Amino acid sequence: MLKTYSKIKKYILASMILAPFLPFIIVLGIGFYYFTSSIENSTLAGLKQTVSDHRQMIDTFLQERKSDLIFISKAYGPETLLKQASIQKAYNDLNSKSRAFVDLGVFDENGIHRSYSGPYQLTLKNYENEFWFKQVMKKGTYISDIFLGYRQVPHFVIAVTSRVNSHVWIIRATIDTKQFSDLVEKVQFGRTGEAYILNTSGIFQTTRRSGGNLMETDSEFTQFPYSDNGIMHFIENIKTGKKFLYTSTFLTEKDWLLVVRQETAEVFRQLHTASYLIILISLSGGAVIFSIAIVLTNRIINRIRQIDNKNELITQQLIHATRLSELGEMAAGFAHEINNPLQIIKNEQSLLLLMIEEINKSSSAIQPQTNKEINDSLEQIAIQISRAAKITQAILKFGRKEKPSMSQIELQSFIPEIINMVKGKATVNDISILKYFPENAAPIVCGDPSQLQQVLLNLLNNAIDAICEANDSTGGVIKIEIALPDTSTVEISVSDNGIGINPDNIEKIFAPFFTTKPMGQGTGLGLSVCYGIIKNMGGEMTVSSNKNDGTEFKIQLPAA
């Protein structure tokens, strides 16, 4: 039985948790997805904007420096610049436009450094085989990658050509890498956000804040996805275990890659906060659902159990009643069988009495001594017959073999009369008898008054005995209550606060000859007779008891 309850409980609990929990989780999941993707999109969009703005700025810078150089070459003319004074002046001009220029030099078409203005001694050095020289000769203008050159200092140069007559002159200026790096690195956002430039071979053209010096190779570069143009973004794990969100784009002025990156943990911090919030919501929501489910399930299971117990009780009572009626039949048959010889004995006894009388009247009277002995014996027989007959009558009553004489009994006046009969005994034992009648009804039952009286007296006497047997017999209370459960039934209940009945005995309590009283007190027929009488009147009698708490007998009789 218990097993089935726990099974039902598991089933109900599972469905009560799952039913609200599943949609809850789904709604939460969908919300989470849209929320996070919107955050992700806006973050990315911001990053891309940054990259594109930055590229614009760097491109502009390079373009301006290039125009500066072209302007100088046009304004002065390459041949004029061969003079030291002119080139000095031109450098000053240039410097006034932008502090980024480190030096200025003029080269002839054979790569000989013809004049120079700047901190280094580079005049007359041959640059014929330098990469930038070849490039500028080929393209007319050129911005170099960072290289060391004769000065053995990382720098990059902008060079333009100028044609005078049939001679080609090259005018070159070096850009301050420090200034350029500052320009690039100027972009700074968040704690880990940074920008830097790589050339096509992944060599740093500007320094990187989080480590990465000029001329070094970016170790992550090989993992970058490659695209010719446009802005790219990707997430890359770097060797230190950190995760970065990269945004990269090529510059328009030079085939340099501008990289802006930020640690994903920082980029998506908002996202994480959102996740934590969602987890918190689902946990607390789950807890609420769970506890509600448990409370409700317990309530349902208790209800089921109550109903089951009630049904069980009814079934038990039914079985019990059937068994009692079976026993009743048997007992009645038994009593009947015993009654036959008892009847014979009774007849013979009266016959003997008659004969003795006759003899004593006649002339041959018996001696007084002997006569007394005979009469005593006959009297003894009579006494014992009635004693045995009482028992068989009681058994017959339990077995319902007699038709009761039915009449209407007004309980309102009937019950106080009975209470009066036991009042003396009750008062002696300090027991109060309380009666409860329904307020606006006068219950009348259909039954045999003397038999009902016998039943109630029996119950009251039992109740008094039960209270006296309890250790603290003071404050004993017997309640007689009348209720009308429906229009056709009157229920009389007699309850006490005595010792109660042992659960083992409660089933047997109505069986004939069952008694818990010590030998010689009570035959064990009282309650079985009560039961038989009530059954015979068309009523029901039940008992409920808690050991040490008391006992309640309920009698249901048809209302008149």
Partner 1 sequence: MMTEITILLVDDEAAFRQALSRRLNKRGFNVLQADSGSQCLSMLNNHSVSVIIMDVKMPEMSGIETLRQIKKKYPDKVEVILLTGQVSAQDGVTGIKIGAFDYLTKPVEIDHLAEKIKQANESIIRKEERIAENAFREKVAHQMAAAERLASLGTLATGIAHEINNPLAIINESAGFLSQILARQKMLQIPCRKEFELSIDKIITAVERAGKITHQLLGFARNGHSDYTRVDLPELIAESIDLLTHEMSNRNIDITTSFDPLSKEIMTDPFQLRQVFINLLSNANYAVGENGRISISTANHGQEVAISIQDTGPGIPANHIEKIFEPFFTTKPPNKGTGLGLFVTRNIIDKLGGSIRVDSKLNVGTTFRVVLPKCLEMQIKAFETENSATDWISHIKGESYHDKNSD
Partner 2 sequence: MIKIPIKVLVVDDEKDFVEMLCLRLKETGEQTSFAYDGETCLDILAKSDIDVVILDIRMPGMDGIETLQKIKHDFPLVEVIMLTGHGTTETAVEGMKLGAYDYLLKPANFSELQIKLNGARNRKDEQEERIRRARTKLLLRKSGDI
Q: Give the interface with partner 1 as residue ranges (CB under 8 A).
A: 323, 326-327, 329-331, 333-334, 336-338, 340-342, 344-345, 348-349, 351-352, 355, 358-359, 362, 364, 366-367, 370, 373-374, 377-378, 380-381, 384-385, 387-388, 391-392, 395, 508, 511-514, 523-525
Does position 348 bind partner 2 by CB under 8 A? no
Please choose which of partner 1, partner 2, none residue 520 contacts, taking the beta carbon within 5 to 8 angstroms, the exact cut-off set by kind: partner 2
Can you read off the two tokens belonging to residue 324? 């009692």
Does position 377 bind partner 2 by CB under 8 A? yes
Judged by beta carbon, residue 195 or residue 342, the one nearer partner 1 is: 342
Enclosing H/E stretch for 374: helix 368-398
Judged by beta carbon, residue 352 or residue 446, the one nearer partner 1 is: 352
Can you read off the two tokens belonging to residue 168? 């080609």
Nearest approach, Cβ of residue 430 and partner 1 (Å)? 33
Judged by beta carbon, residue 288 or residue 354, the one nearer partner 1 is: 354
Judged by beta carbon, residue 272 or residue 390, the one nearer partner 1 is: 390
Q: What string marks each residue from 12 to 51 as x (binds partner 2 by CB under 8 A) or -?
A: ----------------------------------------
Does position 311 bind partner 2 by CB under 8 A? no
Using the contact rule CB under 8 A, the part of the chain among 77-85, 375-383, 462-470, 496-504 near partner 2 is 375-383
Please choose which of partner 1, partner 2, none residue 221 contacts, taking the beta carbon within 5 to 8 angstroms, the exact cut-off set by kind: none
- 385-393: Cβ within 8 A, 24+ apart: 385/342, 385/345, 385/346, 385/349, 388/338, 388/342, 389/339, 389/342, 391/335, 391/523, 391/525, 392/335, 392/336, 392/338, 392/339, 392/342, 393/335
Nearest approach, Cβ of residue 348 and partner 2 (Å)? 15
| Beta partners for residue 432, in sequence order | 477
Can you read off the two tokens belonging to residue 96? 């006034």
Q: At what angle do helices 269-361 and 368-398 cross, to 10 degrees?
A: 150
Determine the 3-state secondary structure of 461 from DSSP: helix
What's the CA angle centered on 426, arms 420 and 430, to 5 degrees?
A: 140
Q: How far is CA 58 from the centre of its chain?
A: 59
| Dist. CA 268–CA 463, nearest whole Å | 81
Please choose which of partner 1, partner 2, none residue 483 contacts, taking the beta carbon within 5 to 8 angstroms, the exact cut-off set by kind: none
CA distances (Å), 357 to each of 364, 366, 382, 474, 516, in order? 11, 10, 16, 57, 46
Query: Which of 357, 373, 410, 549 touches partner 2 by CB under 8 A?
Result: 373
Judged by beta carbon, residue 128 or residue 329, the one nearer partner 1 is: 329
- In the sheet that holds 232-237, the strands lie side by side as 194-198, 257-263, 243-250, 232-237
Judged by beta carbon, residue 331 or residue 470, the one nearer partner 1 is: 331
Please choose which of partner 2, partner 1, none residue 330 contacts, taking the beta carbon within 5 to 8 angstroms, the exact cut-off set by kind: partner 1
Neighbours of 445 (CB within 10 A): 26
Judged by beta carbon, residue 340 or residue 440, the one nearer partner 1 is: 340
Nearest approach, Cβ of residue 503 and partner 2 (Å)? 27
| Dist. CA 463–CA 446, nearest whole Å | 25
Does position 518 bind partner 2 by CB under 8 A? yes
Does position 519 bind partner 2 by CB under 8 A? yes
Using the contact rule CB under 8 A, the part of the chain among 25-33, 267-275, 380-388, 498-506 near partner 2 is 380-388
| Dist. CA 368–CA 354, nearest whole Å | 17
